[in-house]
Amino acid sequence: MRSAAERSKQLRNAVLVSAISLIPAGIAAAILCLCLKLAPALVILISALIFVIALAVLLILWKKTDLIRSILYYLYKVRHPEGSRKYFCPCCNRSLSGFADMRYYDDTERFDPARFKKQRQDVICPFCYSAPRQRILACWAEKNTDLLRRSEILYFAPEYSMMKWFRRNKIKVTTADLYDKRADLKLDITKIDLPDESYDMVIANHVLEHVSSYEAALSELRRILKPDGTMIVSFPIDPDLDTVKEQETGNAEERIRLFGQNDHVRVFGKDSEDIISSSGFSVSIIDVSDTPDPYLPVTGPADYDSNNIFICRRTET
Ligand SMILES: [Zn+2]
């Protein structure tokens, strides 16, 4: 469900696009009236037509977000000369003068601001919206392209920034989501409608904190993996918790208070690695100590974003 903040942002965008479309219609009306001295009815008709065409063109461009972002990045490079671009986003392959503060703490309908207070907030790529965890994964992916190229990959809740990386590296992935219609497959991760041993690799970043049963999800992910297949997962971890904290509640405010976000139903704790291994995996965590400095910082933006990414190998029991 969209929050009021998202709805208001969409409304602002719609008003902005409509207002911009009025500009060419207004100019056309002025020319038709002043220069060509056409009849008022004809001027209104032609101006309305130009408004509709301008609106359609803008809406098509709006959908082509990659194109718009490339144009914006070109302008960004003009304003930020190469020497000042000391940061780098490995997801969208762009050098940056800094990461952005997305002001999540202002969106109190979705987040608990207290969870962001003590964390550094300028951690989001302004072009592909990668957070530290996606940049850590992209950095790992750069070193494991051979494995990725020879794997059949199923990606749950695909993230735009990582999809940029996969597309740029020409690695095919099948995407899955229960709600997003753009995904290749509509799948419930707790009851995956696929045969056993279907994929070489599954990816599910920040999914397990949203679903009804993380145990069922882990069991299903293991089931659809081929023997020795790889699962990549990450989820919010509260470093102060010994184990997972979860509670079913239909109240969004309660979920924000308990877990920091309106659609989280749990937060994991220190025993996350044990939880995954007991589901039939051997587990390693991506070592961020060799992540290049320009990709940093590696924590945040919330205090439960420790950004541990688990690379798990299916083991046979
Ligand atoms: Zn980026």
Q: From ligand 1's centre to the CA of 93, what distance in Å? A: 6
Q: From ligand 1's centre to the CA of 299, what distance in Å? A: 16
Q: How far is CA 148 from CA 42, 151, 154, 200, 226, in A?
A: 60, 5, 11, 9, 14
Q: From ligand 1's centre to the CA of 101, what distance in Å? A: 14
Q: From ligand 1's centre to the CA of 96, what distance in Å? A: 9
Full pLDDT tens readout for the chain, 317 residues:
344 555 666 677 777 777 887 888 888 888 877 777 777 888 888 888 888 888 888 777 766 677 778 888 888 988 888 888 989 999 999 999 988 887 888 888 888 888 887 778 888 998 999 998 999 999 999 999 999 999 999 999 999 999 999 999 999 999 999 999 889 999 999 999 999 999 999 999 999 999 999 999 999 999 999 999 999 999 999 888 899 888 877 788 888 888 888 888 898 999 999 999 999 999 999 877 767 766 665 666 887 777 789 999 999 86
Q: From ligand 1's centre to the CA of 7, what distance in Å? A: 25
Q: From ligand 1's centre to the CA of 57, what distance in Å? A: 26
Q: From ligand 1's centre to the CA of 135, what distance in Å? A: 8
Q: Which helix (H) or strand (E) holds 40?
A: helix 40-63
Structure tokens at 127: 């072009």
Q: From ligand 1's centre to the CA of 304, what distance in Å? A: 22
Q: From ligand 1's centre to the CA of 294, what distance in Å? A: 12
Q: From ligand 1's centre to the CA of 88, what distance in Å? A: 8
CA 192 to chain CA centroid, nearest Å: 22
Q: From ligand 1's centre to the CA of 106, what distance in Å? A: 22
Domains of the chain and CATH, by start: 4-63 (no CATH), 96-314 (3.40.50.150)
Distance separating alpha carbons of residues 198 and 208, to the nearest angstrom: 20
Provide the whole-model pTM: 0.78
Dihedral of alpha carbons 79, 83, 85, 89, sign: positive
Q: From ligand 1's centre to the CA of 270, what distance in Å? A: 30
